[in-house]
A and B are shown apart, each in its own frame.
Chain A
Amino acid sequence: MADTERDPRPEPIEYDGPPDYRVVGRHGVYPETSHDEIARFNFLAQMNRHLSTKVMPGVAEAFETRIEPKRKTAYKTRHQVRKDLVKDPMFQWWSAMRRATMETRQQAGRWVTIRQADELNGKVKTLTEGDPRLVLDPDFKQPRSTDAIDHHCMPGSYHTELVPGDVTGPANYDAGIFATTGGMLGRYNDGGGVAVAQWVQKNLPDFKPKRILDLGAGLGHNVLPIAEAFPDAAVVAVDAGAPMLRYGLARAKSMGIENVTFIQGDVSDLKDMFGDESFDWVQSTMFLHETSYKTMPMIFAETERLLKPGGIVLHVEQPQYSDDMPLFEQAMRDWDAFYNNEPFWTKMHEVDLDAWMEKAGFSRDRLIHGGVAAVVDPEVFPEAAEDAEQEDYGRKAAWHVIGARKEG
């Protein structure tokens, strides 16, 4: 070994963790991030990855070796499993750190966006003021499903405005989701939407939608790839949160995507907004779990009413709980429901979606079932479909599709 070598660094290492935050796509209203703010997101992405790959497997091991063996009778429900899990230190420490990491990620993102609130709000105002593609309702009353609790520990949820015209909430969501997913959603957090668009193009090659509706669109990151894949279609994104919609339009325009209109509304009742058979395609992506037992059938019925004959509805969600899924896995998947402010997550995932779709008026023989995994640039981002190491129950960027094609 020559001691005169100037560079003592070892050979390139085999690294398979999250990419550096600087690979995120910076559209025109993306918040500025300082070196240290980026480093914070890098740490959080790595913490989430560590927790899911190095700590969480210990929960399964504890369950197998010391929790289940102590049980006198077989578990009948996932809730029984969870009640035992919460008494075990392995679950307790993993959970305490996972919750803390989630809260820390919110703090990191809120710091970034609130410190530059005036600039962000100003940029968005300039891009959206007077634009007919932003339709807000100042008298809109938040549904209980968004108002009761701040989803995934995001202070203010999707709708709170710290000042009039505020977009710090959605900008925080947009800038920080990298940390929660470890980059799994790709450059513009759109890997899910890209996957859905590709799935439709592959499985329904003759389908040429003219009007597309996205339910619970948030800031539009899931629907923009669909709008891009079908540039001749008029796309409508509906959400309850005004800040999301405002930011969403500005973001879309700054990315050169001009065929999306953002409308504030309650998707369980859009009768005043759209007539029957107004859309060729109704889409929801990771949205149903943020509704409720009361509103979900109404949403399904609305999709049936809104679809033109021959139109399709697709809902993208984490997999349903079924008898085939071990109760341990179900209990772990319930973590987000009880410990990450996603209260409907648990009940939603036990619903017989086929039966509910049928009840909403879709024929059972026209139901659509499929699976999609986030499509990202594999040179830069981790691919969920290729990732056997990380099952982060409920967080993996691989989803089920339930849908239907209306007769006609």
Chain B
Amino acid sequence: MSTTTLDPLKLAGSKAKGKRPWFLDNPDTERVMNITLALMQEVAVIRERLDTVERLLDRDGVVTREAIEAFEPSKTDADERGYWMQEYIARCLRILQQDREALARGKEDSSEDVADEFAKTD
């Protein structure tokens, strides 16, 4: 794959010049988040490849690596794949959606609060 004297494995992930800002209270949490995000990306890549294989099989009944590389999705194909990606990201980042919804609801009872209330006999 590599045709150069430069090492892409080493250089692709180089750090940009300038002290990096960290955002989460614990930098280790942010490190794990970064690794998780990279994995999210790679799962998306695998899924897109699988989708390509399926569409090629639908179309040609056979699949080759060359055909995967040359695949051009139609507008409908692309829309379906884009929509899947939106669904996928929404799935992975569900907890952030729920944080927003919790914020919108304001103060909510916990199950512990309600359990006490429901256990009352008087």
- Please list the residues of chain A having a beta carbon within 8 angstroms of any beta carbon in chain B: 9, 12-13, 15, 17-20, 22, 34-36, 39-40, 42-44, 46-47, 50, 54-55, 57-58, 61-62, 65-66, 86, 89-97, 99-101, 103-104, 106-108, 110-111, 114-119, 148-150, 153-157, 162-163, 168, 338-339, 341
Contact = CB atoms under 8 A, between A and B. Distances in A.
Contacts of B8: 110-111, 114-115
Nearest to A37: B45
B44 A97 contact: no
A66 B23 contact: no
B100 A58 contact: yes
A107 B41 CA distance: 12
Most chain A beta carbons < 10 A, residue from B38, B73, B86: B86
10 contacts: A15-B82, A35-B48, A35-B52, A40-B45, A46-B89, A96-B33, A104-B37, A110-B13, A150-B18, A154-B16
Interface residues of B, number: 58
A46 B78 CA distance: 13
B96 interface: yes
Nearest to B14: A155
Nearest to B69: A35
Contacts of B13: 107, 110
A119 to B, nearest CB: 6
Interface in B1-46: 1-8, 11-18, 20-25, 30, 33-34, 37-38, 40-41, 44-45
Contact of A39 (B18, B49, B96): B49
Interface of B: 1-8, 11-18, 20-25, 30, 33-34, 37-38, 40-41, 44-45, 48-49, 52, 68-69, 71-73, 76, 78-83, 85-86, 89-90, 93, 96-97, 99-100, 103-104, 106
Nearest to B77: A20
B90 to A, nearest CB: 7
Contacts of B106: 65
Contact of B18 (A94, A106, A163, A341): A341
B10 to A, nearest CB: 9
B14 A35 contact: no
Contacts of B14: 110, 155-156
Given A17-B83, A54-B97, A115-B3, 18 more contacts: A12-B79, A43-B48, A46-B85, A65-B106, A92-B23, A100-B33, A100-B34, A101-B37, A110-B14, A114-B8, A115-B8, A117-B4, A118-B4, A155-B16, A155-B17, A339-B21, A339-B23, A341-B18
A124 B7 CA distance: 20
Contacts of A61: 100, 103-104
A339 B69 CA distance: 36
Contacts of B97: 54
Contacts of A150: 16-18
A13 B77 CA distance: 10
Nearest to B70: A35
B6 A13 contact: no
A119 B100 contact: no
A66 B22 CA distance: 22
Contact of B41 (A22, A44, A168): A44
Given A46-B82, A107-B13, A65 B4 contact: no
Nearest to B97: A54
**What 3 pairs across the A-B complex have the smallest Cβ distances?**
A149-B18, A150-B16, A39-B48
B68 to A, nearest CB: 5
A163 B44 contact: no
A106 B48 CA distance: 21
B103 A65 contact: yes
A96 B82 contact: no
Given A9-B80, A104-B38, A114-B4, A54 B90 contact: yes
B12 A35 contact: no
A256 B68 CA distance: 31
B85 to A, nearest CB: 5
B15 to A, nearest CB: 7
A112 B79 CA distance: 25
B16 A22 contact: no
A291 B52 CA distance: 45
Contacts of B93: 50, 54-55
